[in-house]
Copies of this chain bind each other. A is one copy, B any other.
Amino acid sequence: MSNLQEEMKRVKDRVDEVILDQLLPKSSPIKEVDLLYRMMRDYPARPAKGMRPFLCVTACKAAGGAEDDALLTAACIELFQNWILIHDDIEDGSDLRRGSPALHRAYGEPLALNAGDALHARTWEALLRNKPRLGLERTFSVMGEFSRMVNETTEGQHMELGWVAHKRWDLKEKDYFEMCERKTSWYTVASPCRLGAIVAGAGAGVLADLKEFGTSLGIAFQIQDDSLNLIGDEKKYGKARSDDLLEGKRTLILLRLLATASQSERDRVIGIMSKERAKKTESDVSYVLSLIEKHDAIGYARKRAAELLKDALSTLKSIDWRGDRESASLLAAYARFAVEREW
């Protein structure tokens, strides 16, 4: 196991302990509420890579802060990730999450939707607990960044869901990038890094650089995620293969296919992609996958991801860090992993 993966696991274990032992209640005097608590603890207890807490803690150390100061904020990022996944799975009609049934499949949509809200509220409650360690001003700055992160994410999510709901196919690469910047970049890279840096007391220059780093890397990360969804190993990846095709997601790969396919191929792909999830057949999915291969749309998307990674690494290199060099190089190692990973 590489140094990066050991470090991701080490941080994840520490953050999980904060989440499961300190932040999320275990039982209630009201018997019925116990189930809500179990539901809130469900996704956080499933296996996950823990990329975002790693970024938060590592950026904090690179910016000269102490790991212990960033743990609670890192845990809040995980809580955020978990409630948004619960709702995302309902919105997308997904069956699986991290290798097990999605929460709404296990407990029904009404209870799962509400459990996501409960977890969202607990996230803000937990952020308030930064006060004794970080002081009022810094706790406040962390919440300001957090609020930006949630706003951006819900806007990106709206764009993507809106394209599906309104059967939009007149989309360009630029639209995909704008959507990814909001849906993925902020909460997957930019804010986790910026939150760690804020905890460490970093200045506006570092924060601006981290936004740029996060924007490029987040889009590259999403492109890789889209590729894995189509051709990844289901066991490693933890989601059902080709779920994005069933959900009608507008990925860069699909937009590239539509831009390079013949008119008749294009019409057939749009016809298939516009069907409701339940009406898409296995041969529909195979046909789209065969065209993706024929037009090398994944190869193209990966080339774009590699370019974005290069930009991200060059931004990262230019940052004037005040903390330890090892953390800064771990961030670079992470950036490469995010784009080259197989899971």
Residues in chain B near residue A164, CB distance under 8 A: 110
Contact check, B33 vs A158: say whether CB atoms are below 8 A apart: yes
Contact check, A161 vs B33: say whether CB atoms are below 8 A apart: no
Residues in chain B near residue A122, CB distance under 8 A: 151
Most buried by B among A117, A120, A159: A117
Residues in chain B near residue A5, CB distance under 8 A: none
Closest 7 CB pairs of A and B: A121-B150, A118-B154, A91-B110, A125-B147, A36-B158, A136-B136, A110-B161
| A residues at B contact (CB < 8 Å) | 28, 30, 32-33, 35-36, 84, 87, 90-92, 107-111, 113-115, 117-118, 120-122, 124-125, 128, 131, 136-137, 139-140, 143-144, 146-147, 150-151, 154-155, 157-159, 161-165, 178
Residues in chain B near residue A131, CB distance under 8 A: 140
A116 to chain B, nearest CB (A): 8
Contact check, A91 vs B120: say whether CB atoms are below 8 A apart: no
| Residue in B84, B91, B111 whose CB lies within 8 Å of A109 | B91
Contact check, A113 vs B128: say whether CB atoms are below 8 A apart: no
Bound together, the chains give a CA A110 to CA B154 distance in angstroms of 12
